Amino acid sequence: MTIFEYLSVFISIVIGLGVVRVLGGVAAIIDRQDARSDWVHSAWVGYFVFYLPYFWWFTFDWRRAEVWTFPVFIFVVFFAMLAYLTVVVLVPTRDSDVADRKAYFDRVRPRFFSLFALLMTTDVVDTILKPGNLDDVGSSYGPIMGIMILGNVAAAITERRLFHQIWVVVTILLTLTFGLGVWADIFPVSNI
């Protein structure tokens, strides 16, 4: 077993707990037929159904690290824990919170988007620290992450419903297109 394989077990457990939390929340929502739904909240929950495996997949890039130090390991664990905490704030578990998801989302919105902005900021640090990763992400990574961080800060501050409706769609599109490599095809890395 390599050092990466050994250390990634702990990270995988933390992300697995996040997946369990999201799926438990989805099950609670499905179970409450009388619940007042909110498509914005549901879209964010759906986003994290995708994001957590996405996070776990890109953690694999740490396999390139030849030397692991305890501070780097703690950073990667912190990143995983931050993803988990963001999900914990987003996904309701109490029956009263499941019953009215719009009211729940309105109540947790500042905390959720503050954590999400911190998560995206940590992603930037993670990308810089991973060996060879800056070459892999392409020139579109910086502007996209800037939009993600600033958008989440704005979402933490504003209560405007229209902003939140637009922001969830923009976030999903940015993440999907970047994750699938679409932006790399539009803005290829120059070999100059």
Backbone φ and ψ for 8, nearest 5 degrees, come out as -70, -15
Name the pLDDT band for 184 (thresholds 50, 70, 90): low
Checking if the pLDDT of 192 tops 50, the result is no
**Residues near 90 by beta carbon (within 8 Å), at least 6 away in sequence:** 25, 41, 44, 45, 48, 108, 112
More confident residue, 173 or 95: 173
CA-based radius of gyration for the chain: 17
127-141 pLDDT tens trace? 898 877 777 777 788
Q: Residue 81 in contact with residue 18, Cβ under 8 Å?
A: no
Distance of alpha carbon 53 from alpha carbon 159, whole angstroms = 30
The pLDDT tens digits of the residues spanning 139-155 come to: 788 899 999 999 999 99
pLDDT category of residue 157 using cuts at 50, 70 and 90: very high
- With a CB cutoff of 8 Å and minimum separation 6, the contacts of 62 are 4, 8, 76, 130
Compute the Cα dihedral for 55, 175, 32, 94 and give only its sign: positive
Distance of CA 42 to the CA centre of its chain: 15
Q: Band of the pLDDT at 101, cuts 50, 70, 90?
A: confident
Backbone φ and ψ of 160, nearest 5°: -60, 120
**Residue 183 pLDDT greater than 60, yes or no:** no
Q: Which letter does DSSP use for residue 60 in this model? A: G
Mean pLDDT of 90-100: 77
User: Regarding predicted confidence, which is higher, 50 or 113?
Assistant: 113
Predicted structure pTM score: 0.88
Q: Considering only residues 130 and 116, tell me which one the structure prediction assigns the higher pLDDT.
A: 116
Share above pLDDT 70 across residues of the chain, in percent, rounded to a whole number: 90
| Domain spans of the chain, in order of start | 3-186
Contact 74, 67 (CB under 8 A): no
Tokens read off for 170 = 């923009």
Tokens of 107: 């109540």
